[in-house]
Amino acid sequence: MKIADGSGLQNLSISEGETRHEKGRLLPVRGAVYCAVPDDSRAGGGKRGRTCPVIRGNAFGGVECLSEVLLPDTLRVIGSQAFGFCWSPDSLTIPDIVTEIGAFAFSGCSALTGLHIPDTVTKIGDYAFSYCSLLKELPIPDSVQFIGEHAFEFCSEDLVIICGPDSCAKTYCQQNGIACKAE
């Protein structure tokens, strides 16, 4: 199924009956499972379905009913607002090859309670996890060298960042009044 909404995703692999189109916009139906499959021209070459280096900005922004997000193991960048205000799922694992989480990438994911950030990530953008009100604990690896402004704005008051004793995350927490547990 081709998508022509400017999101950067060319195809979605979904089961029949889980979406409908309205004026060129893909509208999900409750319980759908999405898997991004890039078009060769957008993925930088290679065979279709073999690579997916970037989920571009606002790809799934505002989607209310993702029951599960399966991120491809070739993903390197989660773009700005990629999942912004996507009300579900409650947890996901970022592939071990991702290096950057863009601004507002998971902002407003109000059902998000758990997240694994791999030690390949070096940058977390502005407001990346803002408004993730159920997120109570988030391990941030020492590989993260930059955390943008307000990355955890309006998260749960109980949020605890788990980080290394000399990490960028610890410094960020101290500067922004966020509880951290240095391990």
Where are the chain's structural domains? 53-183
Please name the residues in contact with 147: beta carbons below 8 A apart, sequence gap of 6 or more: 124, 140, 168, 169, 172
Q: What percent of the chain has pLDDT over 70?
A: 60
CA–CA distance, 87 with 147 (Å, rounded to integer): 23
pLDDT at 168: 97
Mean pLDDT of 96-123: 92
Greater pLDDT, 89 or 112:
112
Cβ-defined contacts of 106-115 (< 8 Å, 24+): 106/82, 106/132, 107/81, 107/131, 107/132, 108/84, 108/132, 109/83, 109/84, 109/85, 110/134, 111/87, 114/90, 115/91
Q: Contact at 8 Å (CB) between 125 and 145?
A: no
CA–CA distance, 124 with 102 (Å, rounded to integer): 6
State which fold the 53-183 domain adopts: 3.80.10
**Which tens digits make up the pLDDT trace of 124-146?**
999 999 999 999 999 999 999 99
The pair of structure tokens assigned to 74 is 């070739």
Q: Provide the pairing of β-strand 19-22 with 25-28.
A: antiparallel
User: In the structure, what pLDDT confidence band is assigned to residue 59 with cuts at 50, 70 and 90?
Assistant: low
Please name the residues in contact with 47: beta carbons below 8 A apart, sequence gap of 6 or more: 40
Q: What percent of the chain has pLDDT over 90?
A: 41
As a whole number of angstroms, the longest Cα–Cα distance in the chain is 52
pLDDT at 63: 66
CA–CA distance, 146 with 10 (Å, rounded to integer): 30
pLDDT at 64: 65
pLDDT at 183: 87
pLDDT at 66: 62
* Structural Rg of the chain based on CA atoms: 16
Q: What is the dihedral sign for C-alpha 80, 24, 53, 162? A: positive
Q: Contact at 8 Å (CB) between 55 and 75?
A: yes
